[in-house]
Amino acid sequence: MFNTSFLFASLIWGSVGVGYFIYGKRQRSWAPMAAGVLMVVVSYFVGSAVLMSLICLAAMAGVYFLLRQGY
C-alpha cells in the first residue's frame, strides 16, 4: 500500500482537494467544497493510485460541469 506511486498520488490529490475546498469556501460555492472534501477523503482511504486518480478526475469533471450549469 505504501509504494512510491501511492504516496505521490495521495500527496497530489490531497493538495488539489484542499485547494478546491478553499476555493469553494471563498466563493461560497458548495460544488468545489464538496469535491475538495471528497478528494481529501479519497486520498486517505483508497489504496490504489490509479483508482484514486480516476475518482479525483471524475470529481474535477463533476465540478466543471456543475459550475457550467450555474451551481
Residue-wise pLDDT for 2-52, tens only, equals: 789 999 999 999 999 999 999 999 999 999 999 999 999 999 999 899 999
Torsion angles phi and psi, residue 48, rounded to 5: -115, 135
Domain boundaries, the chain: 4-68
Torsion angles phi and psi, residue 57, rounded to 5: -65, -40
Quick one: cell of 26? 471563498
pLDDT digits (tens, 9 = 90+) for 38-49: 999 999 999 899
